[in-house]
Amino acid sequence: MTRKYFGTDGIRGTANREPMTAETALKVGMGVGAHFINGDRRHRVVIGKDTRLSGYMLEPALTAGFISMGMDVFLVGPLPTPAVAMLTRSLRADAGVMISASHNPYLDNGIKLFSGDGFKLSDEVEEEIERWMAGDMTGLLVPPENLGRARRIDDAVGRYIEHVKQTVPRGVRLDGLKIVVDCANGAAYRVAPEILWELGAEVIPVAVDPDGFNINEKCGSTHTDTMRSQVLAHGADLGIAFDGDADRVLMADANGNVIDGDQMMALIATHWADEGRLAGNGVVATVMSNLGLERYLEGRGLHLVRTPVGDRYVVEHMREHHFNLGGEQSGHIILGDHSTTGDGLIAALQVLSAIVVTGRTTGDACRVFDPLPQVLKNIRFKHGAPLQNARVKSAIADAENRLNGVGRLLIRKSGTEPLIRVMAEGEDAVLIEKIVDDLLEVIAETTG
């Protein structure tokens, strides 16, 4: 089935343009209701959102769709995506919805869906929902007496804060640590500074004044210069930067050096393996993770399993093969003992716990391995399938020959934006930079 709405991470697009319109959101609510309702009992759905202005348009539209199908709606307001997954399980809901376009600018928005167990929906379920949306669902509308109800969960923030704090090992506190926390003017703007402060840290909050337009604007995990500069300006021990819905995190050490998802996974894997807590004897990551991470884990007697890009595919492999640690270089870290999806706050706290327990400096602890030179660049295209072009295919083959078996080349279309992503890594930094630039030039010429 050709998917009209769902991409690699739910539905995403420009707000008030298809598919991110109130009309489509209404259909999503109805389609999800049609899929999940089974029997005469009351069915529930949790809806959360980030801080984008368009959330005020999509939230009531989704709510109306669910209510029309007889589902009760729990509204939790601005909270991180992993909080919605957690609350979906805690409230014994049938489904959860997060309204967010993650790291994208405020102009975009998205809809992420969770099943009752807190995990993202499978491709098969998303396709089934699309089939419902494509049909006439008026015959499924419940009679007036069976309409659902909506209510706000006033203590949702407190529930999530306590859940996150419980993931920190007993006896571990953050006393004496000065931490910059950049919340991207997004979903974590309330909970992240509060959690770090309650655990004893001196907190310097950054980008915690959302206005509907400034989410991810020159801040957060996609603009780490803000975090890095604040760490240096305040003489902080560490910086933490989330994306708009806080399922992604990047960090910086006391010298302002960025700590990416690969380094975080390496640190957590080492710490957990030493304590006998690492399940699966390894880590699940994507094809984007640095070859240096793979070599480091092998040197520790652990192994790295690679999946396609997307934290959903990482989670699926973790569940099927009983791993409890996985993630992406971009900062989606999944800690299976504590959450069902990427959780930036929990990941950051696991890194901090490892630092506290080992007593090492942040710079020393977080530089676990030396990454191979890696270059990733994007190019936007308007239409067509650039990767199917004969000239582009020939250029890719030539690039692989130039690497001569001592590096990696990965070229893929983004699942959320009209972008081609070109990545190369290897021992020779100059060579891989040239390879990527040459490929971008060919793609640009063939796409106009």
Residues 6 or more apart whose CB falls under 8 angstroms from that of 299 comprise none
User: In whole angstroms, what is the distance from residue 408 CA to residue 410 CA?
Assistant: 7
Catalytic residue among 100, 102, 289, 339: 102
CA-to-CA separations, 215 to 81, 223, 386, 432, in angstroms, rounded: 15, 11, 31, 33
Residue 309 gets which letter from DSSP?
S
Amino acid in the structure at residue 260: D
DSSP run (H or E) holding 304: strand 303-307
Q: How far is CA 276 from CA 268, 270, 272, 279, 280, in A?
A: 12, 10, 6, 8, 11
Q: Per residue in 197-213, is it b (16+ CB within 10 Å) or e — as a string?
A: eebebebbbbbbebeee
DSSP one-letter code for 169: P
Q: Please name the residue that has the structure tokens 């923030």.
A: 157
On the CB side of 268, how many CA atoms lie within 13 Å of its CA?
29
* Catalytic site includes residue 102: yes
Task: Give the closest residue to 435 by CA, choosing from 445, 425, 444, 427.
Answer: 425
CA proximity to 220, closest of 205, 236, 237: 205
Active site residues: 102
